[in-house]
Chains A and B, each alone.
Chain A
Amino acid sequence: MSLYLSYGKLLIDQLDLAITQKYEEAERFRRTEHLAACKLQKWWKKILLKLKDRKRTRASTMVLGFMRKVVSTKKVELIENHKKTMKLRKQYGKHVTPLQALWRGYYSRKTIMDFYKRKALLEAVVKKNEETRSHLHKMHNLQLRMERWRRHSYMANARKSIHFLISTRAREGIPENVIEKTAEEAAALKRKKRHTVEPLVIVQPLPSPRRYKNYVPPDDIECFGPFRRKESVIEQKNRPLEPTLRVSTSYNITERERKKDKQESWIKCIQKPMKFATASSKCTNYDRTLWGHTEYNPRDFCNKTIRYESQCKNKLPFISQVPVIPLFDRLGKSYAERSKLIK
């Protein structure tokens, strides 16, 4: 059985082997056919593609050619137009540019920087400056004139007030009392023009002082200037003497009397309470310079370098300047001891 089995296995194996070989052969054949078919297909596809490409290429070439033609035509047109434009611009530029420059200049001067306005402004400034200068010059002259007038009037007033002392046109007589001037004389003075020069009158020299007591101005000579009338002079001279009890008083007698009255009223009135300042804690004590304690007792009122404060421990004991009292001596007491007791 095993032999048959093995023989059967062998047959089967052989069959398998033959089948396998057949399959392999068939496979090889199929492969060959496949390859051949592929080749054939490849060859045919290639031809087909070439045919297709040819068509496409032709079509695309036609399209591209057409587009290129259009684009280049347009380019050429543009270039030609540009050339024409430049030519025209060059041609008209000679005439138009000056017009434009003129307009632009005018426009900028009018709006951006108005030179006309600026020119007018500067002319107005120059004119105004001249006016201002002349006005200030006039004001300055007026001020100087005012100053001169003020000084002149000041000097004239001063001259009038000290006329009696410095006048070189003194006339003999006695200075006139202004109050006694009559109304006619006052009116005559008012009517008198300014700056009139009075005629110089040759005056006889004054008599010597000894003779002056009985001197009366002669009738024929008229006294010019601020002098009293002759009649009032004569009247005063002839007035009888009326002596009074009034004695000569000093110039400031009234002030002295007023002061005296004040003092008396101070004495009589009740004294007001004194008000003292609220002293701060930092204030220094009032140092009575007249009653200090130094070597020189009382303190000499002189230079700081000479005065100096003595130390507390070196303070001398109180020495009385009062003369010795016999009673104290008898009792054996002294001020120094008393001062110690008080302390």
Chain B
Amino acid sequence: MSQRQVLLVFEQYQKARTEFVQTVAELSTRPQNIETLQATGVMQLLRPLLLDVVPTVQQTAALALGRLANYNDDLAEAVVKSDILPQLVYSLAEQNRFYKKAAAFVLRAVAKHSPQLAQTVVDCGALDALVICLEEFDPGVKEAAAWALGYIARHNDELAQAVVDAGAVPLLVLCIQEPELSLKRIAASALSDICKHSPELAQTVVDAGAIAHLAQMILNPDSKLKRQVLSAFAQISKHSVELAELVVEAEIFPAVLTCLKDSHEVVIKNTATLIREIAKHTPELCQLIMNAGGVAAVVDYIGDTKGNVRLPGIMMLGYVAAHSETLAMAVIVSKGVSQLAIILSDEQEDHIKAATVWALGQIGRHTPEHAKAIAVSNVLPKLLQSYISPDSSEDLQTKSKKALKNILQKCVYLPALEPLLQEAPPNILKHVVAQYSKVLPNDPSARRMFVTSGGLKKIQEIRSEPGSALQEHIHEINKCFPEEIVRYYSPGYSEALLQRVEGFKPSTEMQTS
């Protein structure tokens, strides 16, 4: 055989390998092919191709493995069991940028499924190699490495700590400053995944100077970047007052309020989450948000959106109102109560209704003025309905009861209490009757209204245990009216009168005359 013929054999073999690996990579993009590929033992075939002399074959094999591992955790486990990871980690330091991208993709695809798989990736020494990739010149390599690090860190705080200990945070902060948009997104997402676990990790990210760079990107026109930046800020702020103040000092208000009008729902939701996490800490931070017009912006946003998107906004209003009566009054004047009342009647999800009910309770619990603002919006019957409805979840019923109790204890607006008198169960009725017993002794016109509206009759029909608080309040109310009127409205009085009529014997004088 001539040399040419011998070389031809090898060329054909190389061509076959290249074609095979490219076809497998293409087939693995479609989910319907994955099971067939798995059944044919594609992992075992691709593993030796990672060591192929032809770089294209290596890269394509790595890409195919990454796509397979990305599909489900069984395949990812198969990748781990096939001892592919050490080779990939070793090659990350040695190979060219295309292979590095593919290898980082495989690591990401394996780590994303579960904390155990992510731990396996970390145990293979992938973190150091990925951190070195963050110093690469090629932005694609940096993006792939940052993505893999983010997927490792997102599972639990131990893995996130491992990523931080590997020195990834300063490099990620540098990646945020790069001009490539996709790299910025991924780096912001990775920082957000690191921050979310504990205050110490969030502090590490803050100490690396991330806040200033993230704050500059809030008004970036790219929605995907904005959502990651806002998510990162929310994860930093949620842990403590100091961190929230650091975020606020970056002068994100009022610029961040414009994100509430974004066309993408995720951006809006993340913005509301950020504002909520800042507002929940102290009244001063709530005051700052209020001074920036944040309350009105949030009220408008919960009116324009539906479903889970509006949930952080509802909670934010509740947190603001909970701090002090002035802030609660600010929520009322910003038309928050009417919007929350609309949400309570329109929404079907119990957890959103529960949040709304809780927010209304926080607004109305401070003074009679606040309770009146709630009562005037015709919210009390809806709260009662949420409490007594058998379709309501346990959480919704508990929150409704608590909110009703808090509002009723301050409510002296009697027209709003009348519907509750007719329908409320005994544990709510006692609070309603208690409020009547406070108001009626001092207000003659209210007493007249009480009688004409049938309230007095309803009070007499209530059965209460002797010595209970309810009976005492009923007794207090009865003392406000003349005895004959109380007797007139007491149940069974008409029958007693008729019996008296039957038993009456006319006098003899009458008979003789």
Contact = CB atoms under 8 A, between A and B. Distances in A.
A122 B333 contact: yes
Contact of A277 (B11, B53, B90, B258): B90
B39 A132 contact: no
Nearest to A290: B45
A111 interface: no
A132 B258 contact: no
A112 to B, nearest CB: 13
A20 B11 CA distance: 172
Interface in B239-279: 254, 257-258, 260-263
Interface stretch (B152-160, B287-295, B350-358): B287-295
Given A129-B295, A277-B51, A136 B261 contact: yes
A132 B293 contact: yes
Contacts of A279: 83
Contact of A275 (B11, B51, B296): B51
Interface string A275-312: 11111100110110100000000000101100000000
Given A118-B329, A283-B83, A133 B47 contact: no
Nearest to A279: B83
B334 interface: yes
Contacts of B297: 132-133, 136
Interface string A225-255: 0000000000000000000000000000000
A125 B83 contact: no
Contacts of B510: none
Interface in B96-143: none
A136 B300 CA distance: 10
Secondary structure type dominating chain A contacts: helix
Contacts of A289: 41, 44-45
Secondary structure type dominating chain B contacts: helix
A122 B221 CA distance: 34
A267 B334 CA distance: 78
Interface stretch (A50-58, A139-147, A215-223): A139-147
Nearest to A122: B333
Contact of B333 (A126, A276, A280, A287): A126
B334 A125 contact: yes
Nearest to A121: B326
Nearest to B335: A129
Contact of B260 (A136, A276, A286, A303): A136
B83 A277 contact: yes
Contact of B257 (A132, A280, A304): A132
A131 B330 contact: no
Given A128-B291, A129-B295, 6 more contacts: A121-B326, A125-B290, A125-B334, A128-B296, A277-B51, A277-B83
Interface of A: 118, 121-122, 125-126, 128-133, 135-136, 139-140, 143, 146-147, 263, 266-267, 271-272, 274-280, 283-284, 286-287, 289, 301, 303-304
